[in-house]
């Protein structure tokens, strides 16, 4: 499969209710959207990076960094618009996305994704001939399905509570990025389908920024870890 057909699409809407103007807000001295842009642009396997937004200011960031841009219509930039709808708009409207065999949905809310993550995930994707791939981290938690009345159902047998060592194959999806063959998008209109693979990232990379608390926690974390935004993806 030709690496020339791998296109990363970054969805960065201008409006945000949880954190106003979050994609342009400085995170570690750089606008949030720059983190994933830099990582995708420095990937050795991704040859085209497209930034899709309804915001002129966000698109200017992409142009300044050297990526392709896609002007997203108001129809595909609503609070209720799904990532699938936004991705399909780019796939159907941008010439470089129209010719891609492999498409990567990248989410700016996971700023600690590294260029190496894209490359290693793509190596795995191609080696195992997956149709789609999700990312995430190790997960040793016990989860429960709880209804509105408080009735609960655990994901394990309480009489045989598993030990941590017995949960080494358990993973939690983190939403950092998804790799999908064009055929899956065309047939299923979904980021995941067919033979699905999974790429495991470091635990600290799996904090998504959706609230002010997430922002504060992750910004404190990069300070503690000494992560420099200018050198993170070198």
Within the chain, strands assigned E span: 6-11, 26-27, 30-31, 48-53, 68-71, 102-106, 132-138, 144-146, 152-154, 171-173, 177-181, 196-200
Q: How confident is the model at residue 4 (pLDDT cuts 50, 70, 90)?
A: low
pLDDT tens-digit series, residues 175-213: 999 999 999 999 999 999 999 999 999 988 988 998 999
Place of tokens 């609230």: 211
pTM: 0.89
**Residue-level pLDDT at 122:** 98
Instruction: State mean pLDDT over 164-175.
Output: 79
Whether pLDDT at 16 is above 50: yes
Q: Is the pLDDT of residue 168 over 80?
A: no
DSSP track, 150-198: --EEESS-GGGPPPGGGGTT-EEE--SEEEEEHHHHHHH-SSS-SSEEE
Confidence bin at 53 (pLDDT 50/70/90): very high
**Counting beta carbons within 10 angstroms of the beta carbon of residue 119, is it exposed (0 to 12), middle (13 to 18) or buried (19 or more)?**
middle
Q: Are 202 and 117 in contact (CB under 8 A)?
A: no
Using DSSP's 3-state secondary structure scheme, residue 142 falls into: coil
User: Structure tokens of 147?
Assistant: 């209804």
Q: What is the pLDDT of residue 234?
A: 59
Instruction: Give the residue with greater pLDDT, 19 vs 194.
Output: 194
pLDDT band for 135, please (50, 70, 90 cuts).
very high
pLDDT tier at 167 (50, 70, 90 boundaries)? Answer: low
Q: Where do the domains of the chain lie, and which CATH numbers do they carry?
A: 3-138+171-225 (3.90.550.10)
| Distance between CA atoms of residues 149 and 219, nearest Å | 37
Catalytic residue of the set 25, 61, 161, 182: 161
In degrees and rounded to multiples of 5, residue 202 shows phi and psi of -70, 150
- pLDDT tens, 86-124? 999 999 999 999 999 999 999 999 999 999 999 999 999
Q: At what angle do helices 32-41 and 115-127 cross, to 10 degrees?
A: 50
Separation of alpha carbons 165 and 140, rounded Å: 9
Q: How far apart are CA 223 and CA 160, in angstroms?
A: 41
Contact 51, 39 (CB under 8 A): no
| Confidence (pLDDT) at 2 | 44
In this prediction, residue 29 carries a pLDDT of: 86
161 catalytic residue (yes or no)? yes
% of the chain with per-residue pLDDT over 70: 92
């Amino acid at each position: 499969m030709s690496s020339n057909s791998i296109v990363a699409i970054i969805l960065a809407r201008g409006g945000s209710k949880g954190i106003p103007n979050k994609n342009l807000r400085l995170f570690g001295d750089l606008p949030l959207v720059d983190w994933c842009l830099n990582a995708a642009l420095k990937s050795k396997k991704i040859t085209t990076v497209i930034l899709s937004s309804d915001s002129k200011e966000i698109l200017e960031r992409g142009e300044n960094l050297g990526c392709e841009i896609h002007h997203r219509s108001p129809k595909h930039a609503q609070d209720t618009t799904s990532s699938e709808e936004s991705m399909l708009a780019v796939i159907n409207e941008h010439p470089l996305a129209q010719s891609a065999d492999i498409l990567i949905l990248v989410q700016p809310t996971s700023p600690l994704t590294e260029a190496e993550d894209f490359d290693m995930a793509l190596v795995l994707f191609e080696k195992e001939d997956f149709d789609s791939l999700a990312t995430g981290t190790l997960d040793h938690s016990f989860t429960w399905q709880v209804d509105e009345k408080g009735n609960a159902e655990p994901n394990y047998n309480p009489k045989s509570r598993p030990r941590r060592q017995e949960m080494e194959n358990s993973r939690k999806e983190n939403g950092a990025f998804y790799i999908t063959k064009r055929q899956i998008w065309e047939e299923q209109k979904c980021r995941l389908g067919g033979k699905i693979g999974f790429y495991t990232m470091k635990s600290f990379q799996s904090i998504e920024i959706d609230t002010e608390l997430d922002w504060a926690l992750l910004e404190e974390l990069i300070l503690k870890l000494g992560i420099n935004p200018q050198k993170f993806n070198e």
